């Protein structure tokens, strides 16, 4: 069992050793400068020997390694093309572009020398074949990219339109120091067959390059690092603290639950008392009947004796009030404007007391408050007999 654990740990350590952090934005950049030879393959170029077709090429690259195995670069190639052209061929279509590339004299077979320059810019994806080591002497790096190539002619037209290019190759990298490498690169550029101005020929044509140059690593970080190994932590102290907090929360939760239950019960009791008190009051309809009957309690001029015709309606209100012994009653006495203010004030109080006495004699046990307003709150004009009769009254309020 111990052996299995040790073996598993060793496998984990080995897996961790193969992992590297992805470089940040400013890390693991590089710039490369190189030069060498270029050979172009067009429709008529096989007419001449290879040594007659070799031209120059110069390359500038700027790139970045994202991981030890994957990177990218932007490369700019300026190359020359040397070949041959038969302007009288009937097999292919010779355009004015191709004719601008002709120079020298026609040979015995009817061929002219062909020459032009081109500029090819492309973006490549890089792959490192071997396992990464910071001080590895040799690296093998294939690449694949796409770009755009422009022709430079020798005629009056100057720069002619270009073609999209596909670029493949292999970089042999030799380490000189932490910051400098030597690159030996073999590359190929493939374009549409009309690139050299000859159409209806082979589907693709292009150039093969062989260059040697220097690669300069930029930035403070020129290497890749392993992820830091996680440190095992002892959480026992925190687990005890968490357990204590949970226990305290459980206790506090129970107390809050008990308090909530008690509060709900108290609320229910208050609602019950409120409902009971509400039931003690007259209904809206009963209250309306009581007020209408009291509006008919009238008095003779200068008298506090209830008129006989008002007693029948007053008795109807008494029957309702007997059903609600817990209400509070306020009786307000009023007069017309006949007599002095002092006299009317006293008379209005007497009228309220007269009604109170009658209610109590009929069995009303509710609390009754009386007040006299004199002639202050008239409900009709005091200039007519009917108006003054309406003002000689006692009103009721129920709470």
Q: How confident is the model at residue 193 (pLDDT cuts 50, 70, 90)?
A: confident
User: What does the pLDDT read at residue 8?
Assistant: 43
Is residue 397 exposed (0-12), middle (13-18) or buried (19+ Cβ within 10 Å)? middle
Distance, in Å, from the CA atom of 237 to the CA atom of 248, rounded to the nearest integer, reads 17
pLDDT of 9 strictly over 70? no
User: What does the pLDDT read at residue 153?
Assistant: 61
Average pLDDT over residues 330-334: 90
Ranges assigned E (strand) in 241-348: 328-333
Distance, in Å, from the CA atom of 54 to the CA atom of 350, rounded to the nearest integer, reads 138
User: What does the pLDDT read at residue 73?
Assistant: 97
Percent with pLDDT over 90 in the chain: 28
Q: Which domains does the chain have, with CATH numbers?
A: 17-218 (2.40.160.20), 284-398 (3.30.1330.60)
Q: What is the pLDDT of residues 112-150, one digit of tens each?
A: 988 889 999 999 999 999 988 888 999 999 999 999 998
pTM metric for this prediction: 0.53
Percent with pLDDT over 70 in the chain: 91
User: What does the pLDDT read at residue 280?
Assistant: 61
- Residue 368 Ramachandran class (φ > 0 left, ψ -120 to 50 alpha, else beta): beta
pLDDT of 16 strictly over 70? no
Average pLDDT over residues 192-214: 89
User: What does the pLDDT read at residue 58?
Assistant: 97
Average pLDDT over residues 265-270: 85
User: What does the pLDDT read at residue 5?
Assistant: 39
Average pLDDT over residues 256-270: 87
Give me the chain's average pLDDT, please.
84
pLDDT of 211 strictly over 80? yes
Distance, in Å, from the CA atom of 289 to the CA atom of 261, rounded to the nearest integer, reads 43
The 10 Å Cβ neighbour count of residue 174 is 12
Distance, in Å, from the CA atom of 300 to the CA atom of 392, rounded to the nearest integer, reads 7
């Amino acid at each position: 069992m111990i052996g299995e654990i040790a073996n598993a740990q060793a496998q984990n350590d080995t897996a961790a050793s193969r992992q590297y952090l992805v470089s940040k934005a400013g890390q693991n950049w590089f710039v490369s400068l190189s030069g060498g030879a270029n050979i172009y393959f067009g429709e008529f170029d096989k007419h001449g020997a290879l040594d007659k077709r070799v031209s120059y090429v110069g390359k500038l690259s700027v790139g970045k390694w994202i991981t030890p195995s994957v990177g990218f670069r932007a490369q700019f190639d300026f190359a020359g093309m040397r070949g041959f052209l038969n302007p009288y061929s009937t097999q292919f279509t010779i355009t004015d572009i191709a004719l601008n590339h002709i120079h020298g004299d026609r040979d015995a077979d009817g061929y002219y020398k062909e020459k032009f320059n081109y500029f090819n810019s492309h973006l490549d994806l890089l792959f490192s074949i071997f396992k990464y080591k910071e001080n590895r002497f040799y690296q093998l790096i294939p690449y694949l990219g796409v770009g755009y190539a422009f022709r430079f002619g020798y005629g009056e037209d100057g720069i002619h339109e270009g073609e999209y290019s596909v670029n493949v190759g292999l970089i042999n990298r030799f380490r000189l120091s932490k910051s400098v490498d030597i690159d030996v690169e073999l590359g190929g550029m493939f374009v549409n067959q009309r690139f050299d101005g000859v159409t209806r020929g082979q589907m693709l044509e292009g150039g093969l390059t062989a260059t040697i140059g220097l690669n300069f690593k930029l930035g403070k970080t020129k290497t890749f690092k392993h992820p830091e190994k996680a440190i095992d932590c002892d959480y026992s102290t925190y687990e005890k603290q968490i357990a204590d907090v949970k226990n305290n929360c459980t206790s506090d939760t129970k107390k809050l639950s008990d308090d909530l239950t008690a509060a709900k019960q108290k609320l229910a009791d208050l609602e019950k008392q409120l409902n009971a008190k509400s039931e003690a009051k007259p209904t809206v309809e009963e209250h309306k009947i009581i007020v209408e009957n009291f509006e008919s309690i009238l008095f003779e001029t200068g008298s506090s004796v209830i008129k006989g015709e008002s007693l029948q309606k007053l008795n109807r209100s008494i029957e309702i009030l007997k059903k609600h012994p817990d209400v509070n009653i306020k009786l307000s006495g009023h007069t017309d404007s006949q007599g002095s203010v002092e006299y009317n004030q006293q008379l209005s109080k007497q009228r309220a007391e007269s009604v109170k006495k009658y209610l109590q004699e009929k069995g009303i046990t509710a609390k009754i408050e009386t007040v006299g307003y004199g002639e202050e709150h008239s409900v009709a004009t005091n200039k007519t007999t009917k108006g003054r009769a309406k003002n000689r009254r006692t009103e009721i309020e129920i709470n």
